[in-house]
Homo-oligomer: A and B are copies of this chain.
Amino acid sequence: MQAPQEQPKKEHCPAETTLAMISGRWKLLIWRELFSGVKRFNELQRSLTGITQKMLTQHLREMEADGLVYRKVYAEIPPKVEYSLTETGKSLQPLIEQMHEWGIEFTVTSHPPGSPVITVDSK
């Protein structure tokens, strides 16, 4: 009794697809951690101050489902799981770098530290 083709949230524009994959409270931070190398679960949790296990797991699973992250499970006791960026995940690097630089430029030109928000509209 369920609609088979139900797709309530359908991305129209490719840019929105991209946006959806990096949107999330911790995703950019997780991406950055993994970009610096392979990491274990606890390692990530220690680096990402304040993140809960639930959110770390959830975001990692989403990124894995999106094909950005590779999850390698070692059949050992105690368990050992390693996370790393896939090629697709790594391919986000130029984009995120550009976001980073735009953010810096924006902060510098629009919000100089210590200055009140004054927009000087010359002319």
> How many copies make up the complex?
2
Interface of A is mostly: helix
Interface bits A55-93 vs B (CB < 8 Å: 1, else 0):
000000000000100000000000000000000100110
Chain B residues closer than 8 Å to A104, beta-carbon distance: 14
Q: Is A6 located at the chain interface by the 8 A CB criterion?
A: no
Q: How many A residues, CB 8 Å from partner?
A: 34
Q: Are B23 and A102 in contact (CB under 8 A)?
A: no
Chain B residues closer than 8 Å to A32, beta-carbon distance: 13
Q: Is A51 located at the chain interface by the 8 A CB criterion?
A: no
Chain B residues closer than 8 Å to A94, beta-carbon distance: 98
Nearest chain B CB to A27 CB, angstrom units: 9
Chain B residues closer than 8 Å to A14, beta-carbon distance: 99-104, 106-107
Candidates B18, B19, B100, B109; contact of A13 at CB < 8 Å: B100
Given contacts A14-B101, A95-B98, 12 further A-B contacts (CB under 8 A): A13-B103, A14-B107, A16-B103, A18-B102, A18-B103, A18-B106, A19-B22, A19-B28, A21-B106, A67-B119, A88-B106, A95-B102
